[in-house]
Structures are given as structure tokens and as C-alpha cells.
Chain A
Amino acid sequence: MLSEFLQYLFTGITIGATYALIALGFTLIYNASHVINFAQGEFLMIGGMTTVSLTGMGVPMPLAIVLAVLLAGVFGILLQRFAIAPAKQADVVTLIIITIGASIFIRGLAQLVWGKEYHVMPNFSRDEPIRIFGAVLNSQSLWVLGVGAVLVVALVLFFTRTLIGKAILATSMNKQAARLVGIRTQLVLMLAFMVSALLGSIAGVVVAPITFTSYDIGIMLGLKGFVAAAIGGLGSGVGAVVGGLLLGVVEAMTAGYVSSDYKDAVAFSMILVVLFFMPRGLFGAKVVERV
């Protein structure tokens, strides 16, 4: 049945594009600092919730979105400056725990400020879904895909064409050497967190019409984003996108053809299989271990 298959595919791509957007944020911070930022989901939440609450106060949507994204950027800088930078000697796990603490903290704040309710954000364009060969596609999904594509291209350009982008890459490859050639690595890291927060919050705004938004939306989406990033290979932009889409499509196909009870289990098994054959994910760079 073509329409059935198409429907599952559309569903999968919609979910997958969401994951991909979040995974990109992980990728960016990982590239710059080799930190897995478990507070990444909170940027998403800040984006969505700020937009909703500002529009609720009568601020026009485009302005609300810009303000929300800026606020998330500020949080990104604060996170790097006050939580990650002071702990520079810390272990990988310690850094993970710090970002988990940060995410609990930010979520707690959000709950105080915005309450616990779920909120609706209207679709950017029309409400009616698009029909193709008997399958339907939410118009917002196109926005998610489109914004995702634009962000990927922008990121590629950022890293290859701009001085700041190159500085971030240089810092990630060798901090010492980067400092020697005159890169202010602290500033660069702060920038990386900010850009990642911007990415995350844009994702949060774009997906909010599909997923709703609330103070705790970042937990589940953040986790799925991490999973997508790991499948694709940490640090790879293409990997993040492919990983996200793959994860979404596998979830939807399993729910459609196999068992909705076990769709998450199948998705997690897929990770194990991928990592079994490709221990650095699909597109992860081969890193030579220093002894």
C-alpha cells in the first residue's frame, strides 16, 4: 500500500527532522569542546516557551521568536561561562553531570516562571495538511525541514567561510595550538555554546506547533537529539541530519508495520547495531587515540 508507506514516511521525516535539528546543537558544542551538553534540550524549551509567553503578552510573533532565540543565546553564554569554563580540569563524566545539573536548574526556573501547563503555538502557515497520494503531511513539517536545511547550509558556510567558524574548529582540534596562533579559545568556546543555543532554540520554535511546548519538553526531545547525534557520529553535521532522519523514520515504520509498543525499543536496538558495525557512528571521524 503506497499511501500507507508514504504516510509512515512523512511521519518519520517530520519526527526525524525535529531530532536532526536538536542533534545539530549537540554536534556544534561537541565539535568545539568535546562536551555532551545534556542541557541542550533546555535551549529548545527556552525557544518555544519564550515565544509562546511573549506572543501571549501581545508581542508580534516574528519579534517574539527573535527575542526568544536571543534569550536562549544568552543562556548558552552563561552556561559556558559559569558552568563549563570553571570546571576545565574536570572529567568527561563530571562535565556530563554539570550539564545535567544545569538542565535541572533551568527547567526549575522555567517552571517557576511559566508554570507547568502545555501551550499551543499556531502553525507558521496554514493549518490544513497537504495531501499527497492519499497521505497527509502537516504544513509545519515543511517548515521544520526547510529551516533544518537552511541551518545546515548556514553551519557549513559558518565553519568553512568565516574566521570565527574556523577558529572554533581549530580550537576543537587542538586547543594549545589554537591559542598559540592567537585564538582566544575561551571566547571561541563561549561563541560555540551561544551558536548551539541559538540553533536549539530555533528548533524549539519551529517544532512547537507540532509537539506543543512546556517547561519539560526539553527532556525527551533533548535525549532523542543526543541519540540521533550518536547514530550519525558525534561532531558530524551531516551525521546529525542523517541520524535524526533515520531515527525518526525507523520509529514511524516500526510503529506502522511492527508494534507501536516496541517502537522505541527498536529505535534503541538500531543504535546498538549501528555502533556495533561503526563504533563511531555513521559519519564520525576516525580519531587516533593519543597515548
Chain B
Amino acid sequence: MLNRFMQSRLRGLMVLAVILFSLPVFLSNPFHYELATQMAIIAGTVVGLNLLVGFAGQISLGHAGFFGLGAYFTGIMTGHYGWSAIPALVVGAILVGLIAWIVGRPILRLKGHYLSMATLAVGFIIAIIINNERQLTGGPDGMPVPVFDVFGWELSPFGTYSLFGIELNGSEAWYLFAAAVLLVAVWLAQNLIDSPIGRALRSVHGSEVAARVVGVNTARYKSLVFVISAVYASVMGGLYAHFQGFITPAVASFDFSIVLITMVVLGGMGSTMGVILGAVVLKLLPQILTHFQEMEAVMFGLILMLTMIFMPKGLLPTLQMAVSKRLKRRAGGQQ
């Protein structure tokens, strides 16, 4: 019963909404809100990446490239050319989608590790360009990004706002905004998963040859989902840039690509709620591990390794399995 409840997608969305909007009870200062906002934005990125990795079974080790492209495009257009944030985000997403489509067609023919290699290369090339084009991007020292605005109405982490008569400071307002964006991102992703496209994708994951035999145009679906996940990354990157107010090429780096894919795998490939949990855990962990001082890296590596060894399916799916097993056993015991 609980199991079915947890697997039902719409209810999943509702549970997420309840968690997101009741979270402020536990957040006591703007720093907590900031962290939560970043989590929501990164989680949105990871939900997109999960479509590619978890459902279509294609590994990307260069996704931060698209995130970085989105971030820098918005940063440059709003910062240097005075665009408003929304058109910058939209045009950025279209451009990044286009780029993903162009590079996606040839590289998605590759299999397994070769595909990882190719995505890694694409990510690296993007990061190198961002790093080198100092005139536009400020080079390795980064560039400031103007405040997020909706055609004149500004959303600054430092402003004050009122919503339905409740006074909100900037970090709270940003959190609510990011939470709403995440909900939309999850809703869109779930619709996609439940659509015929989603079924086709899962067939690609299961066995590409079999999918092709039964008439699924695997190449088209793969590049479609590649584009979608890149667009997710681009939009979230743009939001991230506005929220942070300052970006450096680290947002497009290989390290960050690894962080993103780790979130997916750690949380549970193929489970939208799982990858969100993965993003939360990986974002929170460094903040907690600061207490270990120089043992930080050792602890992080150890936790990562142990989790993946003992929960190879990821955090959430493993927990869900444990819960349902227990429920079944209890039900059996009562009869």
C-alpha cells in the first residue's frame, strides 16, 4: 500500500511539494535558505540529467558544460548587453539545446565508456572556451551577474518582498521561487517519463537492439532526451548564475560534471525523487564534513565508496526496497 503510494508519480510530486514548502520551518537563517536554494537549482539540473542517465541509460560526464553555457550565456547577455533575465534564459536554453542537438547526433552513436569519453570531451571544450574568452567571460577569475528580473521586477537575494501579506526577505523569496521551479521541472520530467517517448526511452535502456528491432527510432529518442537534459541544465545554470551573482568557469568544469553524475547515481538512477535526494546529500555533505578539518577528503571518499558499494541502486531505491520488504514481512506475520 505504502509502496504503491510511493511509486505513484503524482503523489510523489505532492510529497515533494509538501517537503519543499514545509522545509522553511527548519531553516533558521539566510545561509540555510541559500543552501536550500542552491540544492533546489542543482536538483533541477540533476532531474534533467537523470532523464538521460537513468531512463535512457546514456552516461554523460560533461553535463556541467551545458550548465556552464547556460550560466554564462545569461550572465553575458544580462551583464554586457542589458537583456532582461527571462529572454536571456529562454534564448540561452534554445541555443544550448541546439548545440546539444548538433553534438548529440554523432556522439550518441557511441556506446558505454566511449560515450562517457565523448561527453567528457565536449564538457572540457566548453570549459576551456569559457576560461579563455576573457573579454566576454572574465576568464578564470569569473564575472559578476546582475540580479534576476522579470521584465523590470527584480528578485534579489538581498531585497525584501511580501507574498500574500507575509514579509519575506530576499533569501526566503529566492527559496520559494527555486522550489517552485524545481516542482515544475519534476512535473515536466514525470510527464515525459509517462509519455510514449518515456516508454521508448526505457526500451532503449533495456536493450537498444531490441528496441530498434521493434521499430523504435532509437537515435531520434536518444538525441531528443540529450537535448532535453541539456536544456534543463542550461535553464538551471542561468538561474544559478543570477542567484549567486558571480560565476567562475568552475560551473562548467569536469569536477562539477562528476558531482552531477554522482548525485544521480548516489540518489538512485531512474528515480526522480532519488536523484533529488542525491543532490541534497552531496550538497550538504561538504558543509557537515568541515568539522573533520583535514580528514574531510578521506571521509567524503569513504562515504561515497561505502554508499555505492552497499547501496548500488542508490539511496532512495534501496530505502524503498527495505521499507516494502519490511511491510510485506509484517503483513505476512499478521495473517
Evaluate whether A90 and B301 lie within 8 angstroms (CB atoms) in the complex, with A97-B266, A271-B118 already known.
no
B297 touching A104 by the CB < 8 A rule? yes
Interface size (A, Cβ < 8 Å)?
Answer: 47
Partner of B128, one of A87, A227, A262, A271: A262
Interface size (B, Cβ < 8 Å)?
Answer: 50
Selected interface stretch from B40-48, B215-223, B305-313? B305-313
Partner of A100, one of B207, B262, B297: B262
Docked complex Cα distance between A249 and B76 (Å)? 35
Question: B239-287: which have CB < 8 Å to A?
Answer: 254, 258, 261-262, 264-266, 269
Which of chain B's residues have a CB closer than 8 A to the CB of A83?
A: 305, 309
Q: Does A186 contact B (CB under 8 A)?
A: no
A106 touching B114 by the CB < 8 A rule? no
B128 touching A264 by the CB < 8 A rule? yes
B266 touching A268 by the CB < 8 A rule? no
Q: Does B27 contact A (CB under 8 A)?
A: no
B269 touching A93 by the CB < 8 A rule? yes
A101 touching B114 by the CB < 8 A rule? no
B302 touching A279 by the CB < 8 A rule? no
Q: Does B132 contact A (CB under 8 A)?
A: yes
Q: Does B113 contact A (CB under 8 A)?
A: yes
Q: Which residue of A lies closest to B266 (CB)?
A: A97
B128 touching A93 by the CB < 8 A rule? no
Interface 1/0s, chain A 79-109, versus B by CB < 8 A?
Answer: 0000100110111111011101111111111
Q: Which residue of B lies closest to A102 (CB)?
A: B305
Q: Does A234 contact B (CB under 8 A)?
A: yes
A100 touching B258 by the CB < 8 A rule? yes
Q: Does B15 contact A (CB under 8 A)?
A: no
Q: Does B106 contact A (CB under 8 A)?
A: yes
Partner of B121, one of A30, A106, A268: A268
A92 touching B305 by the CB < 8 A rule? no
Q: Which residue of B lies closest to A79 (CB)?
A: B305
The distance from the CB of B214 to the nearest CB of chain A, in whole angstroms, is 12
Pairs across A and B, CB under 8 Å, 22 listed: A36-B116, A90-B308, A93-B53, A93-B264, A93-B265, A96-B59, A100-B304, A101-B304, A102-B301, A105-B304, A108-B301, A230-B114, A234-B113, A264-B128, A269-B121, A272-B106, A272-B121, A279-B111, A279-B114, A284-B114, A291-B207, A291-B210
